[in-house]
Amino acid sequence: MADLPRRSALARLIAAPEFGPFVLLIVELAVFWSINHNFLSPLNISNTLAFTVELGLIALAMTLLMTSGEFDLSVGSVFGLTPVLMWTLFNSGATSLGVGFALALAVAAVVGIVNGVFVTRLRIPSFLVTLGMLLVVRGTALYITNGFPQRTWNAGGHGLARVLVGTFQIGDFRVYASLFWFIGASIVLGYVLTETKAGNWILASGGNASAASARGVKVARTKMYLFVLSAMMSGFAGVISSIRTSAANPNSGTGYELEVIAMVVIGGTALTGGRGTIIGTVLGIFILRVMRNGIVLIGVPGLAYNIFVGAIILGMMVLHYGLEHRHREGA
Amino acid sequence: MADELVRMEHITKFYGSVQALDDVTLTVNRGEIVGLLGDNGAGKSTLIKVLSGAVTATSGSIYVRGRKVSIRTTTDAIKLGIETIYQDSALVTQLSIARNLFLGRELITGPRFLNHLDQAAMNEVTGDLLKEVGITKDIPASTPISALSGGERQAVAIARAMHFDSDLIILDEPTNNLGVAETQGVLRFVRNARDSGHSCIFIAHNIHHVFQVVDRIVVLRRGRVVADHIDPHTTTIERVEQVITGAPDQEFVGSAPQPG
C-alpha cells in the first residue's frame, strides 16, 4: 500500500484518469483522418472548433460543480433563455446590447442562486431541483418569445460581438474569439481546481461533505458559487452561440445538459463527486465533438451518432471504474 | 499535579422517553488517557457525542479549562480543542494526506486573493507530523487517503488533531477491524499523543486494547457511571469485566482523582 509515487513515471501516466480519454481522442483522430484526409483540413477544424468551445464553456463549469458532488440539468435551458432575453431587451429598444447582455447574465445568475438555495438549504437533490428548473427556464424562454426566434442581425460590428465571437485568421485557420474565452476559462478553472484553497474545498465538499464541514469548510457556500458559475457560463455560451449563428431561438440548447455531463464523466470526473479534472473534461469535450463531426465526414449516417456516443460513454465508464477500483485497493 | 482539562457535570440525555444518560459526571485531566468502557447501549457513544457537539444534552454542564462552555456543533467542539476521531468518517478519502491534514486551515502562498495552496509547505509539515505520530513507514504526504490502511488513517486523524492543538482527542473504537500490528500502531500513536501533552478519551470494545494504553478507566452501565477511577495497573481485566456486566462494584465509585 501507499507505494504509488514510487512507481515509474510511465506507470503513473497510465494510471492517471486523463490517460484513457487522451488515448481515445488520439485513436479517434487517427481513424477519421485515415479514412478521410479532409477531416484535418483547416476548414473542418475551424468549423468544428466554433461550436465545440461553446458547449465546452458549459462543460468546464459543470466539471467543478460535479466535483463538488452536484450537477445541473438546467444548463441547456439557460443556454437558450439568456440570448433570448438579451435580444428581446435590445430589440424592444429598452436597453443597449451591452446592458441587455449584463441583465441577461444576471438572470442566469439568479437561476443559479435558486438552484443553489434549493439544493443546499432545502437539501433537495440537485437532480430534481435542476430538472424542475430546466422546465421553468425553457418555459420562460418559449413564453416570452411566443416560441419564435428573436431578430439578431442588427448586431453586426457591435463591440460585444467582436469581443465574444470576432473572427481571426491564423494561417489557414479561421478562429472565433470564443476559442480564447474557452482557453482562458480552462486555464483559470483548472488552476482553481488543482492549486487553490477553493479547489480543495470543492474536492472535499464532493468527497465527504460532513467531514469537510466538520473542519470548517463552507460546503453550502462552495456549492452555491458553483451553481451560479454553471448558470452564468451556460448563459455566456448561449450568447456567444446566438451572435455567431445570428439566431436566438428559444429552443436552442435543448438536450445539451446530457451531452455536457457526458463530456465531463468521459474525461474522468466522478459523477458522485470528490474527483474532478479539467484536462479530462477538455479531452471529453473533443472526444464527443470530434466523434459527431468525424462520423459524418467518413460517411456513417448522422443518425447513428448516438450509438457511438453511448458506446464511448459506456466504455469509458468501465475504464474509470477499473481505475477507481485499483485506486481504492491502493494498487 | 492533576490539571483538569474537561469536566462534564450531571449530564442527562433523553431520546424521546428513552434515557441514554443519567446524571453522568466525567473529568479528563491534562495529559491523561481515559478509557471509556461499557456494554452496547451503556451510553458511551451518547456521552462522547455530547462532548463532541453531535448531540446536545438534555441537562447538565460542560467545563473546559475551568470555564463553562456551550457545545452545540462539532465546530464548537473543535474550536474548544476537542477533536473526535471516528473510524474513517473524518477524512476525505479522495484527497491526499496533506490536503486532509490542512483541510479548512490550508496554508496559502502568494497574493492573498488567489488563495494559492502552499502544497510544498503542507507536504513538509505533514511528513514531520507522520513521523511524530509514529508512522515509521515512508509514506509521501501526497498519497491519497484511499491508499492507506485503517490504522494509517487513524494515524492521519490523530496527527491532524495533534497539529491543530486539540487538547482532547476522542477516539471512538479506533481499533475496530484492525489487525494485530495495526492495532499496536494505533496504540502507539495514542501514547505519542499523550506524551506530547494531549489528553485522550479512548473507547473500545476490546478491554485488552484499553488496558494497554489508558491511565484510568471509567465504566458506564445503562447510562450511569458505575466506576470512574479504575487503575489498569492494579486491576485485573476480569474484575473490570465484572464491573461492566454488573457485578458488585461499589469500591470504584465516588472518589475520582480531584484536580489540584
Domains located in chain A, CATH noted:
16-323 (1.10.3470)
**How close does chain A come to B67, measured CA to CA in Å?**
23
Residues 6+ apart with CB under 8 A from A261: A62, A66, A71, A271
DSSP letter assigned to residue B58: S
Residue of B nearest to A67 (CA): B94
- Nearest CA-CA partner of A6 in B138, B175, B90, B2: B138
Residue B161 burial (CB count, 10 A): 26
Q: What is the mean pLDDT of residues B26-51?
A: 91
Residue B123, in any domain of the structure: no
Q: What is the mean pLDDT of chain B?
A: 86
Tell me if B75 and A214 make a contact (CB, 8 A cut-off). Answer: yes
pTM summary value: 0.85
Task: Please indicate whether residue A154 or residue B213 has the higher confidence score (pLDDT).
Answer: B213
Picking from A196, A204, A216, the nearest residue to B92 by CB comes out as: A204
**How close does chain B come to A207, measured CA to CA in Å?**
6
Tens-place pLDDT, residues B88-133: 568 999 999 999 999 988 999 988 888 999 999 999 999 988 887 7
CB contacts of A270 in chain B (<8 Å) are 94
Q: Is A228 near chain B, with CB under 8 Å? A: no
pLDDT of residue A153: 66
Residue B19 burial (CB count, 10 A): 16
Spatial separation of the C-alpha atoms in residues A304 and A282, rounded to whole Å: 24
- Nine-digit cell at A39? 477531416
- Nine-digit cell at A67? 466535483
Tens-place pLDDT, residues A78-115: 999 999 999 999 988 888 889 999 999 999 999 999 99
Tell me if A207 and B142 make a contact (CB, 8 A cut-off). Answer: no
- Nine-digit cell at A121? 438549504
Q: What is the CATH number of the domain that holds B72?
A: 3.40.50.300
pLDDT of residue B54: 86
Tell me if B94 and A2 make a contact (CB, 8 A cut-off). Answer: no
Spatial separation of the C-alpha atoms in residues A127 and B197, rounded to whole Å: 48
DSSP letter assigned to residue B138: -
Residue A218 φ then ψ, to 5°:
-85, 85
Spatial separation of the C-alpha atoms in residues A265 and A312, rounded to whole Å: 11
Tell me if A204 and B140 make a contact (CB, 8 A cut-off). Answer: no
Q: Is A271 near chain B, with CB under 8 Å? A: no
Tell me if A275 and B94 make a contact (CB, 8 A cut-off). Answer: yes
Give the CB-side neighbour count of residue A316, counting CA atoms within 13 A. 31
- Nearest CA-CA partner of B97 in B137, B148, B133: B148
| Distance, CA of A107 to chain centre | 19
Residue of A nearest to B160 (CA): A215
Tell me if A207 and B103 make a contact (CB, 8 A cut-off). Answer: no
End-to-end CA distance of chain B: 6
Spatial separation of the C-alpha atoms in residues A17 and A8, rounded to whole Å: 16
Q: What is the mean pLDDT of residues B25-53?
A: 91
The residues that bridge with A167 in the sheet, in sequence order, are: A176
Q: How many domains does chain B have?
A: 1
Residue of B nearest to A217 (CA): B104
Residue B208, in any domain of the structure: yes
- Total residue length of chain A: 331
**How close does chain A come to B191, measured CA to CA in Å?**
24
In the predicted structure, residue B136 carries a pLDDT above the cut 90: no
ipTM of this complex: 0.83
CB contacts of B92 in chain A (<8 Å) are 203-204, 207-208, 211-212, 274
Tell me if A1 and B149 make a contact (CB, 8 A cut-off). Answer: yes
- Nearest CA-CA partner of A323 in A25, A13, A84, A72: A13
A·B CB contacts under 8 A: 90
* Residues of chain A scoring pLDDT < 70: 1-7, 153-157, 326-331
State the SS3 of chain A.
Answer: CCCHHHCCHHHHHHHCCCHHHHHHHHHHHHHHHHHCHHHHCHHHHHHHHHHHHHHHHHHHHHHHHHHCCCCCCCHHHHHHHHHHHHHHHHHCCCCCHHHHHHHHHHHHHHHHHHHHHHHHCCCCCHHHHHHHHHHHHHHHHHHHHCCCCECCHHHCCCHHHHHHHCEEEECCEEEEHHHHHHHHHHHHHHHHHHHEHHHHHHHHHHHCHHHHHHCCCCHHHHHHHHHHHHHHHHHHHHHHHHHHHCCECCCCCCCHHHHHHHHHHHCCCCCCCCCCCHHHHHHHHHHHHHHHHHHHHCCCCHHHHHHHHHHHHHHHHHHHHHHHHHHHHCC
Residue B10 φ then ψ, to 5°:
50, 50
CB contacts of A215 in chain B (<8 Å) are 78, 103-105
Q: Determine the Cα angle at A132 with ends A129 and A136, to 5°.
A: 130
Tell me if A200 and B152 make a contact (CB, 8 A cut-off). Answer: no
- Nearest CA-CA partner of A273 in A319, A219, A214: A219
Residue B202, in any domain of the structure: yes
CB contacts of B185 in chain A (<8 Å) are none
Residue B81, in any domain of the structure: yes
Q: How confident is the model at residue B1 (pLDDT cuts 50, 70, 90)?
A: very low
Q: Are A68 and A222 in contact (CB under 8 A)?
A: yes
Residues 6+ apart with CB under 8 A from A159: A98
pLDDT of residue A4: 46
Tell me if B147 and A215 make a contact (CB, 8 A cut-off). Answer: no
pLDDT of residue A72: 97
Kind plus residue range of the DSSP H or E element containing B160: helix B150-163
In the predicted structure, residue B161 carries a pLDDT above the cut 90: no
Residue B117, in any domain of the structure: no
pLDDT of residue A331: 39
- Nine-digit cell at A231? 448558470
Task: Please indicate whether residue B76 or residue A124 has the higher confidence score (pLDDT).
Answer: A124
pLDDT of residue B22: 93
- Structural domain boundaries, residue B184: 4-91+166-252
CB contacts of A274 in chain B (<8 Å) are 92-94
Residue B48, in any domain of the structure: yes
Tell me if B106 and A200 make a contact (CB, 8 A cut-off). Answer: yes
Q: Is A204 near chain B, with CB under 8 Å? A: yes
pLDDT of residue B259: 47
pLDDT of residue B248: 56
Q: What is the mean pLDDT of residues B151-171?
A: 85
Residue B248, in any domain of the structure: yes
Residue B239, in any domain of the structure: yes
Tens-place pLDDT, residues B172-202: 888 877 778 778 888 888 888 888 888 999 9
pLDDT of residue A113: 98
Q: Are A65 and A265 in contact (CB under 8 A)?
A: no
Tell me if A4 and B103 make a contact (CB, 8 A cut-off). Answer: no
